[in-house]
Each structure stands twice: as structure tokens, then as C-alpha cells.
Structure 1
Amino acid sequence: MTINIEYEAVKKLEIPYEEIITSVAEEALDYEDCPYEAEINVLLTDNEDIRQINQEYRKIDSPTDVLSFPMVEYETPSDFDHLEEEEYDSFNPETGELLLGDIVVSVDKVEEQAEKYGHSMERELAFLVAHSMLHLCGYDHMEEEERLVMERKQEEILSRRGYVR
């Protein structure tokens, strides 16, 4: 798995963020039985930059904790069967890895929400990555049933890596 991490925020997270991102991303793909090596890009930024990205792509002029930009279209979540038919669109031609998508995380929100919810910054970052990885695998939470499925999967992924509340 290739995980390209860019850290553009001025504020530094004093946690092993690369290890957390890698661990949770790998666990999410294992949990979802992804049959391919995958490539994702992760940008760690601040509230102002994520607000601008949120405005540009979602027309919401406020900061958010995490944004997900899937590069794969699924008929059903985590249905990887059809991807080989679309090989040129879905795979990196140089590495053969599945181009899963991009994740943008606000380090400001990691700190704010860890304090708000009473858990560690490590757990908060792990949660945001698990949540976003499920989006990159085709899950959503617009409907109540979808939300419940995502919540269960997030908690199972996190608990398998020891990120519990």
C-alpha cells in the first residue's frame, strides 16, 4: 500500500500521525476485503485551508474535520469486482495499485474534537481516517441505515487496531 502524506498545517500534531494513518488505512482495506494493493493521498491541513476546500467542492463555507475524495465508483460499497474491467481508470499504471482517493484532515479539528469527546488525539485521528477510508470504499451516511453501518464498521476497524474510547 502506498500512502502519500503531506503535512501543510503550521500547528504540529505531537502524535505519531504517519503510523496512525498507515495502520488504520491498512486495517480498513483488510476489513473490507480489498483484493488489491491501494494508493491513497492524505493531506493534513488547518481549519482555514479545509474550509476553502469544503467551500470549493461542497459549497459549504465552514471548516470540517475530514473530507474524502473517492476516485473509484462502486455499484455497492466495497464491491471491488468490477474494477479490473476499468483498469486504466482505477489503477496506477506505474505501480498497478488501486487509486482509491484522497483524504483531507484538519489538525485543528483533531485537537478540538479529541478534547470535546474526551479521548486522545490519536483516537480522534484514527477515527477520522477510518471514517474517510469507508467513504473511499463507497460507503456513505446520508440515510440512517447507512449511518449505522458506517458507525459499526468504524468502531470495528478502530477496535482491531486498539483505538478504543
Structure 2
Amino acid sequence: MISFNYENDFKLPNEVRVSNWISSVIRLEGCTEEEINYVFCDDDYLYKLNVEFLNHDTFTDIISFDYSVGKTLHGDIFISTERVADNANDFEVDFETELHRVIIHGILHYCGYKDKSEADAKLMREKENFYLNELN
């Protein structure tokens, strides 16, 4: 089950469409969907989580807490809509596209994809692009 929660004024306008898309990605990756909670928040909210739980003194667009067991996906994904808006501007894409990229990025991590090495980051970006095209 996918749920969307809000700690700021943002509201995902197409929850059912996005939820169905996420579920589809999970199935296509050979995984099983359990409880996945998205929390949309502002920079300050996510910054506090970053410092408290990860000991990182930086702003970020996404933090995910992965409670998955094997291929059964379960976790909490926190997304700063302020950071997504800034990144969309920096990357010269619309907000919705960048938001969807971040949404699926968290799921791909749960599916086992990494992005620390150059090769892993390249594969992650390819997967993001593939699934973004599936949504459109």
C-alpha cells in the first residue's frame, strides 16, 4: 500500500495515477509492495531528519528509510518539495518531472539500485528515465 502524507502546503495533484505507477514499477522490478509512505515536506523538516538520523549537515531532496526484507518493499520516503523545485530550476525541467524522478528514485533504491559509483549512478539514471517515460 502506498500512502502520501503532507507536512507542508504541497498536495500531489494526481495521487491515484502516481500510486498506480509506483506499484507498476515495483512489479516490473520483480518486487512485492508492502507499506510505503511518502512524506512531502519543506527543506527545514528534511534537514532536521538528515542531521538527526544520518548525521549529514546538508539540505537534500530525498531521504528514505528502507525497512524492506528481500524483495518485499516497505519504508518511509521523505521528499522536500522546496529542494525539488530548486533542482527542477537548476536542471531546467518542470517541477512535476523532477518530483516524479525523485519519487521513483526512492523506490529504485528499495529495489536494490545504488548510486554511489559512477556506473551505479548511470544505471540509476537510466532506470529513472525509463520509468518516467512509462508514466507519460
TM-score range, shorter chain: 0.7 to 0.9
**Equivalent runs, 1:128-139 vs 2, <5 Å:** 128-139=102-113
Corresponding residue pairs, total: 136
| Cα distance in 1, alignment partners of residues 132 and 93 from structure 2 | 13
Compare the two structures and name the one with the higher strand fraction: 2
Compare the two structures and name the one with the higher helix fraction: 2
Gap regions ≥5 residues in structure 2: none
Q: Which has the larger radius of gyration?
A: 1
| Cα distance in 1, alignment partners of residues 16 and 84 from structure 2 | 16
**Equivalent runs, 1:41-120 vs 2, <5 Å:** 41-74=37-70, 80=71, 98-120=72-94
Tell me what 1:25 maps to. 22
Could you say which structure has the greater relative contact order, defined with CA pairs below 8 angstroms and 6 or more residues apart? Answer: 1
After TM superposition, the score normalised by the length of structure 1 is 0.74
* Runs ≥4 residues deviating over 2 A: 17-21
| Cα distance in 2, alignment partners of residues 61 and 116 from structure 1 | 21
1:142 aligns with 2:116: yes
Gap regions ≥5 residues in structure 1: 75-79, 81-97
| Percent identity for Structure 1 against Structure 2 | 29
RMSD of Structure 2 on Structure 1 (CA): 1.9
The DSSP-based 3-state class of the residue aligned with 1:132 is helix
1:8 aligns with 2:7: yes
Q: CA deviation at 1:28?
A: 2.1
| Cα distance in 2, alignment partners of residues 135 and 73 from structure 1 | 13
Contact 1:21–1:129 under 8 Å retained in 2? no
Contact 2:41–2:78 under 8 Å retained in 1? yes
